[in-house]
Amino acid sequence: MTLTPNMKTLLVAILEEVRRLEAVPDKPPPGMDREQWRTQWYERRDYERFGVHHDLALWLGHAPSPSDSAVFSRALRNMEDMGLVVRISRWDGRRATHVQLTDEGRVEAERLVAEQAAAPADRPPGDPRRDRYADRTMSC
């Protein structure tokens, strides 16, 4: 399976969000503000029902340009065609509002995270293959 750099970026970002939501506890842990926990718990509940909320700005780490939106929308469609993700419209409409990793997509995303975690020591600073996912894989 050949993945473009944009597909890799999306897979890693979606997996990071999945891991964050799956880690939300059922009850507020000691020291956590109850309202903060409640917000996260509702996000987790939505994730369990619909998948990860489609948030390109969060996934890219910056506001997407119109061309970014088009390019990454195409990448998501291609990933859906490859069986890596399922795009879901929460409301009856054409626009996908949530994304779910398939089992195959999760395996591929986990592989990318492991690959990127091992890669920085092998590549010099400034190498785009090193820095592209570095921030995402460190927090996964």
Task: State residue 116's pLDDT score.
Answer: 83
Domain count, the chain: 1
Task: State residue 137's pLDDT score.
Answer: 39
Q: Which two tokens stand for residue 80?
A: 């859906």
Task: State residue 70's pLDDT score.
Answer: 92
Task: State residue 128's pLDDT score.
Answer: 53
Task: State residue 83's pLDDT score.
Answer: 96
Give me the domain span that covers residue 116: 5-139
Task: State residue 139's pLDDT score.
Answer: 39
Task: State residue 118's pLDDT score.
Answer: 79
Task: State residue 138's pLDDT score.
Answer: 38
Rounded to whole angstroms, how far apart are CA atoms 64 and 72? 9
C-alpha triplet 65, 75, 119: angle, nearest 5°: 95
Local confidence pLDDT in tens for the 140 residues of the chain? 799 999 999 999 999 999 999 999 999 999 989 999 999 999 999 899 899 988 999 998 899 999 999 999 999 999 999 999 999 887 776 777 899 999 999 999 999 999 888 776 655 555 554 444 444 433 33
Rounded to whole angstroms, how far apart are CA atoms 24 and 42? 10
